[in-house]
Structure 1
Amino acid sequence: MTDAFIDIPGVRNFRDAGGIGALRRGALYRSGSFHALTGEGARRLKALGLRTVVDLRSAFELEVWPDQRHDLDHETLHLPTLPADRGDVDLPWPEDQAALYPFMAETAGPSLAAVMRRLAAPGSLAVVVHCAVGKDRTGLTIAVLQSLLGASEAEITADYLLSNLGLGLDKGPAPYIDETGAERLSRPVDAELLASSLAWIHGRHGTIPDYLRHHGTTDAELDAVRANLSA
């Protein structure tokens, strides 16, 4: 599946999320943020028919690293996967991936329901879903969509693990500077991480459609998303 990667100058880890289950290629893409997007990158995004960008980052990340548009006319939706950092919410540090993944499943429901509403609407495609580097928050969101379109867990996991290759993490952790200016380690993803998010969803809601319904997604919206994204 390495042919899924697409070279978009200034954007990391950009690839087509389709080609598995009933999810067609050319409809749903995943990536890191657009904060370093170049003019040439924007031209290539326009050629892909970009209509919607779903940004899963925090408000502070957007303030520090705003996406570049270069006159692109897509709609951007800011739908944070994680809650705002408040004193009453104990957010897992990015390095604590084992804690982060079930926590994302617990907090991502409103974001995912809003994604479904947008993808159910006419004219929403093509869409790019991104966070900072397109690995964790994007990984869960894309996995939910791929599952909804009938992809197997093995197919979903194989696509998810491609982020290690796309980010150069196939050789191990790599240092980076976060939005606060602190140096952290970006760690490779593994199958157990995504499985823990999906297990949280299944354990509390039974199925992914029921999880989405719990957060306000209607059956009509689910049907429309499947129809819009299907091959």
Structure 2
Amino acid sequence: MKRIPLSHTMNTRDLGGYPAGNGKMTAYARILRSDAPLVLSIEDAEILKQLNVTAAIDFRSKPEIERNPSAFELSPDFDYFHCPFAIGNRDPGSKDGVPALYGEIISDFPAIGRIMRIIAGQKGAVLIHCAVGKDRTGVVAALLLLAAGVGASDILADYQVSYTYIRHLIRETKKKNPELPDYYGRSDMENMEKTLIQFKEDYHTIDEYLGKLNLTTNEQVTIKNKLF
């Protein structure tokens, strides 16, 4: 994992560098994950071009985008796709509700299928993002790492580092809004660990899961090889 130092994001990271079995490592400049890039400087765009990024996929809801448009939407340098989930940006209601909410994201087959289809169709690297790059982005990143054969411990490590990068924002937000719950903004390992356990119970393997997304065989193969 390598953080990408864009000027107006805190949590932009590359999914490269993780062991994926059979001596393989996930490659850099294939999939980037991020918080919402509301501004792209000339230097930012150049960094992303050097990483071969050709497209961005925005998981936020329509109201979120109307309040804070993605800089990619107006950029002539990148393709922009809006792929919201049925849950929108709904709060889980409690810490214990986080894995269940992640399960709803995973079971949103139309949204995940479209996201995977877009990723499979891009020859270059793809940047995926939501608001802070933790929940919706974290779930999709976990699925992509699973598809690449990355083990659970590295998927958990990739997930939990989000809070490290966004902690200052979360602390300031909580100061201004003291009514926010303790779990707000956190990426505790247990959330994703419970999600992965439930994923195995529900779908058994990533291959069985990909088979539910209405992807062609070639698209499924492309997704599994995207990080190499």
Could you tell me the TM-score, scaled by structure 2's length? Answer: 0.83
CA contact (8 A) 1:109 1:212 kept: no
Closer/same/farther in 2, CA of residues 183 and 5 from structure 1, 3 Å limit: farther
1:113 counterpart letter in structure 2: G
Q: Secondary structure at the match of 1:54?
A: strand
Closer/same/farther in 2, CA of residues 183 and 40 from structure 1, 3 Å limit: farther
Q: Which runs of 5+ in 2 are unaligned?
A: none
- Name the % identity: 28
1:19 counterpart letter in structure 2: G
Where has structure 1 moved over 6 Å in runs of 4 or more?
none
Q: Secondary structure at the match of 1:161?
A: helix
Closer/same/farther in 2, CA of residues 182 and 168 from structure 1, 3 Å limit: closer
Question: How big is the shift at 1:159?
Answer: 1.3
Question: How big is the shift at 1:202?
Answer: 1.9
Task: Measure the CA separation in 2 of the matches of 1:159 and 1:130.
Answer: 15
Closer/same/farther in 2, CA of residues 173 and 150 from structure 1, 3 Å limit: same
Asked if 1:115 corresponds to 2:103, the answer is no
Asked if 1:13 corresponds to 2:11, the answer is yes
Q: Which runs of 5+ in 1 are unaligned?
A: 86-90
Q: Partner residue of 2:85?
A: 81
Question: How big is the shift at 1:212?
Answer: 2.5
Closer/same/farther in 2, CA of residues 84 and 167 from structure 1, 3 Å limit: closer
Q: Partner residue of 2:200?
A: 202
Query: How many matched pairs?
Result: 216
Q: Secondary structure at the match of 2:127?
A: strand
CA contact (8 A) 1:79 1:114 kept: yes
Task: Measure the CA separation in 1 of the matches of 2:178 and 2:92.
Answer: 12
Q: Secondary structure at the match of 1:140?
A: helix
CA contact (8 A) 1:12 1:167 kept: yes
Q: Partner residue of 1:139?
A: 138
User: Residues 38-70 of structure 1: CA distance to partner in whole angstroms, max 9, x if unpaired?
Assistant: 343223222322111111111111111001146
Q: RMSD of aligned C-alpha atoms? A: 2.7
Question: How big is the shift at 1:84?
Answer: 4.8
